Structure 1
Amino acid sequence: MRRLVLVVAAGLLAAPALITPARAAPVQDRAVLTLEGAKAVLAAAEADAAKRGLKVTITVVDFAGLPLAMARMDDASTVGVEISLAKARTAAGFNTPTGTYEQRLQKEGALRLLTLPIVASEGGIPIKRGGRTVGAIGVSGATSQEDGLIATAGIAAIEAALAAKP
């Protein structure tokens, strides 16, 4: 009988663990974009711009929108520094390519987007790992579409690097 009481008591003590929902961990592990990764993105985007004969500014930021790497090509506009950073920050902060906002802004009634702290033209693309944004690239200095193509070349480089590593 004493053994039965101990087994029942042990079962009752374990019951709250079965009923209580699991708590989230107080700290999460998160992938981060390294300086090496940022340089790879920057180099690929710069090579694409040079191939196209364009002079642009390219900025790569971390998930929080803080700059990791930037290059202003010779003869590129000086205002491109601020615009490329703003595009990268928009893409990182909203986890969405900036071209999405350009498309939305062109629709009727979308002027409310102008009140957000965003850049609504192509050229800003988030860098993702495992579905989470780890950084972003921003390009400024050519047409909106060309900025987007150059940024895409940078994204392709980091995706290729990630696919090559286990």
Structure 2
Amino acid sequence: MNSKPVLTLEDAKNIVRAAEAEASRNSWRVVIAIVDDGGHLLYLQRNHDTQFGSVEIAIQKARAAVAFQRPTKVTEDAVLSGRLIHLALPGALPAEGGVPLVIDNRIVGGLGVSGVRSFEDGQIAQAGIAVFN
């Protein structure tokens, strides 16, 4: 039987704490979502005054990072360069802020951030994964 690394709830909380610290330093109100390797929500944090529309976007960014095994910025860059076929991919989200979470070269989950401009969501996500890697 094979074994695989697993993203724990404590891992998720540590990632979110680091991401939230970056958001707070910049006074950005965001939603931060963590999903497991199957795209199921493991942890979600929303600042009390963050637009509620960002809840689903953060979850979708995290799921897209897992489903396509790459940061959502890759899809955003593809669309911006004219490769519009990416818009037809089920579950693709062409907006920076979703990143896969990797342990031992295996994707164990995804992190999604939404609430500010796309590149700022990406900055927050990078702060979150920096404590995980």
Distance apart, 1:74 and its partner CA: 2.1
Q: What corresponds to 2:105 in structure 1?
A: 131
Larger RCO (alpha carbons 8 Å, 6+ apart): 2
Provide the rounded CA distance (Å) in 2 between the counterparts of 1:118 and 1:73. 25
Counterpart residue type for residue 33 of structure 2: T
Structure with greater helix percent: 1
Distance apart, 1:93 and its partner CA: 1.2
The list of structure 1 runs, each at least 4 consecutive aligned residues, that deviate by more than 2 angstroms after superposition, is none
* Alignment size in residue pairs: 132
- Alignment match of 1:112 (pick from 85, 90, 93): 85
1:85 correspondence with 2:43 = no
Counterpart residue type for residue 86 of structure 1: Q
Q: What corresponds to 1:157 in structure 2?
A: 131
In the TM superposition, 1:5-154 aligns within 5 A as 27-108=1-82, 110-116=83-89, 117-154=91-128
Provide the rounded CA distance (Å) in 2 between the counterparts of 1:64 and 1:28. 17
Distance apart, 1:106 and its partner CA: 1.1
Provide the rounded CA distance (Å) in 1 between the counterparts of 2:109 and 2:17. 16
Q: Secondary structure at the match of 1:158?
A: coil
Q: RMSD of the TM alignment (CA)?
A: 0.8
Larger radius of gyration: 1
Q: TM-score, normalised by structure 1?
A: 0.78
Unaligned runs of 5+ in 1: 1-26, 160-166
Unaligned runs of 5+ in 2: none
Provide the rounded CA distance (Å) in 1 between the counterparts of 2:70 and 2:131. 19
Distance apart, 1:28 and its partner CA: 1.9
Structure with greater strand percent: 2
